[in-house]
């Protein structure tokens, strides 16, 4: 064999091996594993262009999974039941329709990959269907793109929940998500970091999300300014990323901590004699919103809370809880990179991170506080950020495996779990305290309907309205606001509802 033939043979072998790894990863996802746990092992075993191609092939196949599945069914003379065969053909279709891979390479290397996973008997079928697609790719691309690429149960629910936005929403969920950055205000501000990006020849745009809320004694007007990263670059190569100057966080996710922070600032303005502030971040892992909250509390660019520090306890105590040990470890990793909290040694701020079940956990049991203070009217927390477990349907652009992993039954189970957590934590919120309920779901059952059910169970819960005229994000709901990922550079699908516990609850 000549040197050039040997080189081509090794390249072809590597290319088909990439496809084998992608097919195996897709089969693992269909068996119930998440992309989050599978992506790094896949990419770490590849080099150079193979790594980029594998990433693009896997994510693009997932984004168009249900559309290419329908196309496959229409092209097959007989139903194809075997999962590995279906998956291999869909990987081939994705290359032909969405990745501009040359026809001969897409077909030949996919057939070779099929052989490598012991499906030689199916090579004729795979070859025939892919050749049929390659003869008229424009026709089949239009057919794939015409409708949604979601499981039918989810598409049906979205049509029921969001009929007005249905076509726009279901098409948007097939697109890659933009990358947004959050500057660590303990180290720099947006203007300083935008300068660093410019010096690194990275293009970015500062966005402004405005919010207005009316409290009993004050109106709150706030602006959150995420940075949209328009250049493509590995995240670890961002300026001062390793030093913790910046984090990757969706634009809408960046609303959560500032909403509670500003509400607390306003309420403390009329209660400056408060001795301490007790805060809870529930379901906190991997810690993005917790880190943001800490950054705001310790920011060099914002006023401090007016709380009196005592010898007995820190002025501000934050408890963060989550029930998954592996995810909890991510909180520590993220805070370490961000060099947070910066003031923990001065006893201005106390931070406790616990691995507990939010449906049953009682803070008083853990902290062994004086039971005399633990009355129904002083349950412990002044504010709770509940980043509730959800179906994560609002982040399908970022995690397209969600469309394959979720089932209709998951929604019912998740709604019940959310209600348990809400009821347990509400009993631990001080009168006059605030609870911000957040999900990354776009299903009303988990969001506005969940809040309506909660309000009906808890007569001491008062909704703090977002001023629709002053909010330039989200869609007003009967309770709270719903963000939908409708346009190219929009944030993910998040829901926000802010509640206050009435002071005059009758025992």
Q: What is the pLDDT of residues 200-243, one digit of tens each?
A: 999 999 999 999 999 988 899 999 999 999 999 999 999 999 99
Return the pLDDT at 400.
98
DSSP H or E segment with residue 482: strand 481-482
Beta strands in 8-128 (DSSP E): none
Mean pLDDT of 91-105: 97
- Of 257-266, 369-378, 419-428, give the lowest mean pLDDT range: 369-378
Beta strands in 219-342 (DSSP E): 219-224, 227-229, 246-248, 277-282, 316-322
The answer, yes or no, to whether residue 410 has pLDDT greater than 60, is yes
Average pLDDT of the chain, as a whole number: 91
Question: In this predicted model, what pLDDT tens digit does every residue of 42-84 receive, in sequence order?
Answer: 999 999 899 999 999 999 999 999 999 999 999 999 999 999 9
- Of 182-186, 343-347, 453-457, give the lowest mean pLDDT range: 343-347
Structural Rg of the chain based on CA atoms:
25
Distance CA(102)–CA(333), nearest Å, equals 43
Return the pLDDT at 273.
65
Query: Is the separation of the CB atoms in 23 and 122 below 8 Å?
Result: no
Q: Is the peptide bond before 341 cis (omega within 30 degrees of 0)?
A: yes
Residue among 144, 283, 390, 440 flagged as catalytic? 440
Return the pLDDT at 6.
40
Mean pLDDT of 293-309: 75
Distance CA(256)–CA(496), nearest Å, equals 8
Return the pLDDT at 46.
93
The answer, yes or no, to whether residue 403 has pLDDT greater than 90, is yes
Distance CA(6)–CA(506), nearest Å, equals 83
The answer, yes or no, to whether residue 376 has pLDDT greater than 80, is no
Mean pLDDT of 329-339: 95
More reliable by pLDDT, 14 or 453: 453
Distance CA(60)–CA(45), nearest Å, equals 20
φ, ψ (nearest 5 deg) of residue 468? -60, -35
- Of 102-111, 146-155, 307-316, give the lowest mean pLDDT range: 307-316
Instruction: Determine the angle formed by the axes of helices 35-44 and 3-30, rounding to 10 degrees.
Output: 170
Return the pLDDT at 69.
98
Residues 6+ apart with CB under 8 A from 20: 113, 116, 117
The answer, yes or no, to whether residue 274 has pLDDT greater than 90, is no
Return the pLDDT at 463.
97
Return the pLDDT at 342.
75
Mean pLDDT of 372-387: 69
CB-count exposure of residue 148 (10 Å: 0-12, 13-18, 19+): buried
Return the pLDDT at 26.
98
Return the pLDDT at 162.
98
More reliable by pLDDT, 377 or 74: 74
Q: Where are the alpha helices (DSSP H) in 340-472?
A: 363-367, 402-405, 408-426, 448-457
Mean pLDDT of 429-450: 97
Query: Is the separation of the CB atoms in 174 and 63 below 8 Å?
Result: yes
User: Using 50, 70 and 90 to split pLDDT, how confident is the model at 100?
Assistant: confident
The answer, yes or no, to whether residue 5 has pLDDT greater than 50, is no
Share of the chain above pLDDT 70, in %: 88
355 is catalytic: no
More reliable by pLDDT, 369 or 215: 215
Query: Is the separation of the CB atoms in 442 and 494 below 8 Å?
Result: no
Calculated CA dihedral for residues 153, 158, 160, 163, nearest 10 degrees: -140
The answer, yes or no, to whether residue 11 has pLDDT greater than 80, is no
Mean pLDDT of 145-174: 97
Return the pLDDT at 267.
86
Distance CA(69)–CA(55), nearest Å, equals 20
Distance CA(453)–CA(339), nearest Å, equals 40
Return the pLDDT at 322.
97
- Of 167-181, 249-263, 328-342, 409-423, give the lowest mean pLDDT range: 328-342
């Amino acid at each position: 064999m000549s040197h050039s033939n040997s080189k081509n043979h090794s390249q072809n072998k590597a290319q088909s091996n990439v496809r084998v790894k992608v097919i195996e990863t897709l089969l693992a996802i269909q068996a119930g594993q998440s992309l989050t746990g599978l992506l790094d092992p896949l990419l770490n075993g590849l080099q150079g262009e193979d790594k980029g191609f594998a990433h693009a092939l896997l994510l693009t196949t997932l984004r168009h999974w249900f559309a290419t599945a329908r196309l496959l069914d229409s092209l097959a003379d007989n139903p194809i039941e075997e999962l590995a065969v279906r998956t291999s053909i869909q990987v081939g279709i994705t290359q032909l329709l969405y990745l501009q891979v040359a026809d001969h390479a897409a077909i030949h290397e996919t057939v070779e990959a099929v052989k490598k996973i012991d499906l030689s008997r199916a090579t004729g079928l795979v070859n025939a269907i892919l050749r049929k697609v390659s003869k008229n790719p424009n026709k089949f691309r239009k057919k794939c793109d015409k409708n949604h690429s979601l499981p039918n149960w989810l598409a049906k629910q979205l049509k029921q929940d969001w009929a007005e936005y249905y076509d726009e929403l279901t098409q948007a969920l097939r697109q890659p998500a933009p990358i947004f950055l959050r500057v660590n205000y303990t180290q720099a501000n947006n203007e300083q970091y935008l300068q660093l990006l410019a010096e690194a020849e990275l293009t970015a745009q500062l966005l402004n999300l405005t919010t207005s809320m009316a409290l009993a004694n004050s109106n709150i007007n706030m602006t959150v300014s995420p940075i949209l990263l328009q250049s493509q670059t590995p995240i670890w190569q961002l300026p001062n990323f390793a030093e913790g100057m910046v984090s990757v966080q969706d634009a809408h996710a960046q609303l959560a901590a500032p909403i509670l922070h500003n509400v607390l600032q306003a309420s403390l303005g009329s209660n400056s004699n408060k001795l301490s502030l007790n805060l809870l971040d529930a379901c906190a892992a991997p810690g993005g919103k917790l880190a943001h909250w800490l950054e705001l509390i310790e920011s060099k660019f914002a006023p401090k809370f007016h709380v009196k520090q005592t010898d007995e306890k820190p002025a501000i105590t934050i408890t963060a809880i989550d029930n998954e040990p592996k995810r909890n470890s991510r909180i520590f990793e993220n805070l370490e990179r961000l060099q947070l909290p910066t003031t923990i040694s001065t006893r201005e701020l106390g931070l406790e991170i616990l691995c507990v079940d939010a449906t049953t956990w009682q803070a008083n049991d853990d902290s062994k506080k004086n039971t005399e203070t633990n009355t129904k009217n002083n349950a412990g927390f002044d504010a709770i950020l509940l980043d509730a477990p959800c179906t994560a349907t609002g982040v399908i652009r970022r995690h397209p495996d969600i469309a394959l992993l979720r089932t209709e039954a998951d929604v019912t189970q998740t709604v019940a779990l959310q209600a348990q957590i809400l009821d347990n934590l509400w009993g631990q919120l001080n009168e006059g305290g605030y609870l911000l309920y957040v999900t990354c779901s776009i299903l009303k059952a988990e969001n506005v309907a969940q809040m309506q059910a909660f309000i009906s169970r808890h007569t001491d819960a008062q909704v703090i309205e977002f001023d629709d005229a002053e909010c330039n994000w989200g869609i007003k709901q009967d309770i709270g606001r719903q963000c939908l990922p409708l346009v190219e550079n929009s944030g993910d699908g998040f829901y926000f509802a802010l509640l206050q516990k009435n002071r005059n609850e009758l025992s």
